[in-house]
Chain A
Amino acid sequence: ETGVTQTPRHLVMGMTNKKSLKCEQHLGHNAMYWYKQSAKKPLELMFVYNFKEQTENNSVPSRFSPECPNSSHLFLHLHTLQPEDSALYLCASSQNAQGRAEAFFGQGTRLTVV
């Protein structure tokens, strides 16, 4: 248990569906992140939120839409996904977005797009 909880753990969705991934942290952190981890590819940072403000969007397609209503919760809304979007989506949090801040990761959501 790292203090970062992701739900659901597994998700299968069709290309026309709309679904959301949820992340919650109980660590009092101010920065939260979404990463995508595909087979045989490095971890890809998708979004960064620092004090509820989105600070980075690394050219992520608009079919992925993040939401950070407060410092403890982070969502990733999904719509009209493609099969290549199938991956493990990891949420992480850290005290702040500075380089010495250790990141704590959730267990991930395994997403399969059919």
Chain B
Amino acid sequence: AQSVTQPDIHITVSEGASLELRCNYSYGATPYLFWYVQSPGQGLQLLLKYFSGDTLVQGIKGFEAEFKRSQSSFNLRKPSVHWSDAAEYFCAVGAAYGGSQGNLIFGKGTKLSVKP
């Protein structure tokens, strides 16, 4: 079955430090992969997506993610975190058409806190 695992529930980093949020997926074919961000009390906003081609994808707000097929991973990175990056981050895989989970399967999320 298709699934997404975000092993870190909560991460705290200092402002200006680098960030890596982990995401592992289980999917039988080449997946469509997404990272979303959710600020408190808000909906989810797409940061970036991977469909094919270059395995390093750039997104908004200075984020990037690298698809590693051999590790079934799609980790999100940012070289220097800003206080405004404090939010919850969700990794998602695009399911097959008509899947019982709709078109996206979400991980449980990683909450990011930023220390001044």
A residues neighboring B (CB under 8 Å)? 2, 4, 6, 31, 33, 41-43, 45, 48, 55-56, 58, 88, 90, 92, 94, 96-108, 110
Contact = CB atoms under 8 A, between A and B. Distances in A.
Given A56-B101, A99-B31, 8 more contacts: A31-B103, A43-B106, A99-B95, A100-B94, A105-B43, A107-B42, A108-B42, A110-B41
Contacts of A31: 103
Contact of A108 (B43, B96, B97): B43
Contacts of A88: 41
B98 A45 contact: no
Interface stretch (B14-22, B45-53, B68-76): B45-53
Nearest to B31: A99
Contacts of B34: 102
Contact of B51 (A41, A97, A100, A104): A100
Given A31-B103, A42-B106, A42-B108, A99 B44 contact: no
Contacts of A42: 106-109
B63 interface: no
Q: From A41, A43, A92, A110, name the one whose CB has the most chain B CB atoms within 10 angstroms.
A: A43
Determine the main DSSP class of B at the interface with A: loop
Interface string B76-116: 00000000000000100111111111111011110000000
A97 B100 CA distance: 11
A50 to B, nearest CB: 9
Contacts of B44: 90, 92, 103, 105
B100 A56 contact: yes
